[in-house]
Structure 1
Amino acid sequence: MSDTNERLSKIVGDNDVVLFMKGTPLFPQCGFSSRAVAILDHCGVAYESVDVLQDMDIRQGIKAFSDWPTIPQLYVKGEFVGGSDIMMEMYQAGELQQLLDDAQVAKAS
């Protein structure tokens, strides 16, 4: 598991915004992942996505890494933000856009 934790730390550390999801942004494999992608796309930020369905070690490891039981999971500047419900609440309150602006993440091109 330590190898998986190292991989996760590198992914989270190397990218300003990372979404661990089921599927890809172009082809999400669950409604929650689809909603998370739509929120990030609407915020207009560049982000990295990791398809947990392609790697069982990552799929299980991310749950322990964040101490959060569900996927998708959003990280901004190395900090765990939450899943799709938390993303939606933050987005609707304007808090997610503020967090992304404060973190000075790159805009999508």
Structure 2
Amino acid sequence: MSIQDTIRQQVTDNAVILYMKGTPTFPQCGFSAGAVQILKNLGVNFAAVNVLADPEIRQGIKEFANWPTIPQLYVKGEFIGGSDIMKELYASGELAEMVADLKAE
């Protein structure tokens, strides 16, 4: 399975997935930390992939979405964006709408 197939599988199998530097418990950059905080504020369960642990994933995810930076958020198989877009969508309430049916119980 190619790295693109692996990423496609991860994005498909997880309703909300964040490709980030570090882990939700120990983010390795401010942008990833901010992305995690937004998702926690929304109260959704999410999968996280630490791109620093796998150079193939780190490069592959940039090609997958044709987006050069990390973090990257996917909701229901769709690329949402990076930290700036997440902040904008969170502030406007749009991100909450996207994940409304995915709230953690």
Computed over aligned residues only, the root mean square deviation of the Cα atoms, in angstroms, reads 1.0
CA distance in 1 between counterparts of 2:104 and 2:47 reads: 11
* Structure 1 residue 65: Cα displacement: 0.1
Deviations, residues 57-91 of structure 1 (Å, cap 9, x unaligned):
00000000001000000000000000000000000
CA distance in 2 between counterparts of 1:89 and 1:99 reads: 13
Matched residue, 1:29: 28
* Structure 1 residue 3: Cα displacement: 0.5
* SS at 1:46 equivalent: coil
* SS at 1:28 equivalent: coil
* Structure 1 residue 108: Cα displacement: 2.9
Q: How many pairs are equivalent? A: 105
CA distance in 2 between counterparts of 1:49 and 1:13 reads: 13
TM-score by length of 2: 0.97
CA distance in 1 between counterparts of 2:104 and 2:22 reads: 20
Matched residue, 1:108: 104
* Structure 1 residue 38: Cα displacement: 0.2
TM-score by length of 1: 0.93
Which amino acid in 2 is paired with 1:29?
Q
* Structure 1 residue 16: Cα displacement: 0.2
CA distance in 2 between counterparts of 1:28 and 1:108 reads: 21
* SS at 1:74 equivalent: strand
CA distance in 1 between counterparts of 2:25 and 2:96 reads: 22
- The list of structure 1 runs, each at least 4 consecutive aligned residues, that deviate by more than 6 angstroms after superposition, is none
**Equivalence map 1:1-109=2 (5 Å):** 3-101=2-100, 104-105=101-102, 107-109=103-105
* SS at 1:24 equivalent: coil
Percent sequence identity is: 57
